[in-house]
Amino acid sequence: MKEFYGSRLQSQMMLGTAQYPSPAILVSCFEKSKASVATVSLRRESGNLESGNSFWSIIKNLDVKILPNTAGCYTVKEAVTTAHMARDIFDTKWIKLEVIGEEDTLQPDVFGLVEAAKILSEEGFEVFPYTTEDLVVADKLLNSGCKVLMPWGSPIGSGQGLNNIFGLKALRSHFPDIPMIIDAGIGLPSHATKAMELGFDAVLLNTAIAKAGDPVIMAEAFSHAIISGALGRTADPMEPRDMANPSTPIFGKAFL
């Protein structure tokens, strides 16, 4: 398994912490999914509710690495300032960098993303950029100091799976040594399996588990799905054929 900024993870599953029916179900989903990384955010604190302290007391006991995000940021300044605040509060150099460009699809503003990634990388952050499958953008992100890429499968929360298999294959082939995580759009365990079969190094998801009818069973399903896809890739699958080829030997067949 590839390392992410020098960290070797216990699993190839990264899991978001939003939208669960209850804190107890969130904890159970992390246990069943065997996720090695939890994504978190920063939001306004009212003080009297101490919601941040309550949430943090749950997360810090999960025994996972913390990946703060800049979700909801539409400008470079917002994203960079949020990253600074995240480093201050979570005491980590890791940042899942989101610079959103369009609110219907939540697709990244790749121009702002590259600019913010450069600023943060130069400041010592270890940037996980939420990007598209675009090769040129990927190249610019790597030149900006990113050592990990996080291409989307499809729009955040859409559950559409991998919308551009050709583009993702091309990205994987073009940068074979770069750790890559499929982030966003995963809806089914089979989507995660496909991502791993394509050679990606991890999958990050949230809504597919949190909004499932039974999130805990779905968490376990995703755990198996990711392991299956990774093992399938490692096992060097056969090439598809256009025509049938008998699996039972012809030699020795009776003449009847």
Partner 1 sequence: MNIIVNGENRNIINVNLTFALDELGYKKMKLATALNGEFVSVQARDNINLKEGDKLEVLSPQQGG
Q: Quick one: which segment of 40-48, 131-139, 188-196, 248-256 binds partner 1 (CB under 8 A)?
A: 40-48
CB neighbour list of residue 153: distance below 8 Å, 6 or more residues apart: 160, 161, 162, 163, 168, 182, 183, 184, 185, 186, 191, 195
CB neighbour list of residue 215: distance below 8 Å, 6 or more residues apart: 20, 21, 25, 28, 29, 209
Pairing of strands 13-16, 65-68: unpaired
Q: Which is nearer to partner 1, 140 or 154 (CB)?
A: 154
Based on its alpha-carbon atoms, the radius of gyration of the chain, rounded to whole angstroms, reads 20
Q: Which is nearer to partner 1, 58 or 135 (CB)?
A: 58
Q: Quick one: which segment of 78-86, 147-155, 166-174, 191-199 binds partner 1 (CB under 8 A)?
A: 78-86
Q: Which is nearer to partner 1, 52 or 232 (CB)?
A: 52
Q: Quick one: which segment of 45-53, 114-122, 147-155, 166-174 binds partner 1 (CB under 8 A)?
A: 45-53
Q: Quick one: which segment of 12-20, 115-123, 193-201, 235-243 binds partner 1 (CB under 8 A)?
A: 12-20
Task: Rule CB under 8 A: choose which of 5, 27, 41, 142 binds partner 1.
Answer: 41
Binding mask 20-39 for partner 1 (x = CB under 8 A): x------------------x
CB neighbour list of residue 166: distance below 8 Å, 6 or more residues apart: none
Q: What does the H/E/C string look like for 97-141?
A: ECCECCCCCCCECHHHHHHHHHHHHHCCCEEEEEECCCHHHHHHH
DSSP category for residue 6: T
Nearest partner of 86 among 122, 43, 132, judged by Cα = 43
Is 2 one of the catalytic residues?
A: no
Written as one letter, the residue type at 213 is G
Taking the complex as a whole, the smallest distance from the CB of residue 97 to partner 1 amounts, in Å, to 13
Nearest partner of 59 among 32, 41, 83, judged by Cα = 41
Nearest partner of 107 among 64, 74, 136, 70, judged by Cα = 74
Q: Does 52 bind partner 1 (CB under 8 A)?
A: yes
Q: Does 85 bind partner 1 (CB under 8 A)?
A: yes
Binding mask 119-158 for partner 1 (x = CB under 8 A): -------------------------------------xx-
Task: Rule CB under 8 A: choose which of 64, 71, 95, 138 binds partner 1.
Answer: 71
- Which residues carry out catalysis? 96
Chain contacts with partner 1 (rule: CB under 8 A): 16-20, 39-48, 50-53, 55-56, 59, 68-69, 71, 77, 81, 84-86, 88-90, 156-157, 206-207
